[in-house]
Amino acid sequence: MVVHGIVKIGDLISDNGKFLKSEKLLQSQLSPIHFFKLMGIINSIPNDWKLIIKQSQQHVCPPSNDTIQIHIESAAVDVLKATSKMLYNEFKSKKQVVPSAQNKIKRKFPDLSLAWKEIYSLPFTVTQDTKTREFQYKLLNNIVFTNEKLFRFKMIDSPLCAFCQTEDESPEHLFFHCNKMKSFWQLLFSWFSEQKVILTSLTLENVFFGVFHGAEDCHVVNHIILLAKYYIYNCKLNVIHPSLKVFIAKLKAACQIEQKIAATNNKLERHYKKWKKFLPCFS
């Protein structure tokens, strides 16, 4: 995006204050992937910040004589002359605002009793797979593009679920409430029982945030739930109904990759301990 000159929020706003409608952006011919990323960035900006950005014509410091200036204590300072102490003091003085995605999650899950630290650190605790971690990060930050959202952005003609075609495809519907998904999770739940992995239940909160209590095999269960969501999303993109059999084959592949990494890092014992109840299925 930098090669197209898109380096700051101001480059995404049109002269009349509309996001993603700037001349620079419209002429840049960005790929859909880059455009999706920008949509995610805009979507993650709290609404009150957006309002301030739109209302202020001063949100971007005009460059002068090829220098970049930043505002520190309300004064324009040449960025090359700003010391780290000045920047630190400026950041420290800013009021901390809860990310808007957290507020959205709180509204959707008012009874959620988990700490954010637990929620955000879980993917890093249970897997080293960066794709799965990234996907969970997107889900928590409300930047997974379901049909409901794409319809709102006027990118598709219908907000309906790719699987059932009867209800709007919100993240909650796509990953849990859809009838097709309910049967997938039930089959997975039964498969867990067959492997002697005992869960009391598998709720919407468990699917979204993880299983934190009451499961002896927390690490592997949470890793599998993360992989399952990523698998469901890829099924949606390819309009293929999720299948437990296919998913188990993918799990086997994920387990084998982890085994190779563990062997390299001399951590095979920990690897076998994590996957021990599932290894007979994969052999």
Residue numbers of the site for Zn ion (CB under 5 A)?
A: 161, 163-164, 178
Residue 109 buriedness (CB in 10 A; 0-12 / 13-18 / 19+): middle
Work out how close the CB of 195 gets to Zn ion at its nearest, in angstroms, rounded to a whole number.
28
Work out how close the CB of 186 gets to Zn ion at its nearest, in angstroms, rounded to a whole number.
15
Task: Give me the helix-helix angle, 116-126 and 130-140, nearest 10°.
Answer: 160
The secondary structure element, H or E, covering residue 101 is helix 100-108
Work out how close the CB of 110 gets to Zn ion at its nearest, in angstroms, rounded to a whole number.
24
- Tell me if residue 162 falls in helix, strand or coil: coil
CB closer to Zn ion, 27 vs 234: 234
Q: How far is CA 266 from CA 255, 261, 271, in A?
A: 16, 9, 10
CB closer to Zn ion, 174 vs 226: 174
Q: Phi first, then psi: give them for residue 67, nearest 5 degrees.
A: -105, 155
Work out how close the CB of 167 gets to Zn ion at its nearest, in angstroms, rounded to a whole number.
6
CB closer to Zn ion, 8 vs 152: 152
Distance of CA 109 to the CA centre of its chain: 17
CB closer to Zn ion, 161 vs 215: 161
Please give the single-letter amino acid code of residue 267.
K
Task: Give me the helix-helix angle, 268-275 and 218-238, nearest 10°.
Answer: 70
Work out how close the CB of 97 gets to Zn ion at its nearest, in angstroms, rounded to a whole number.
34
CB closer to Zn ion, 184 vs 275: 184
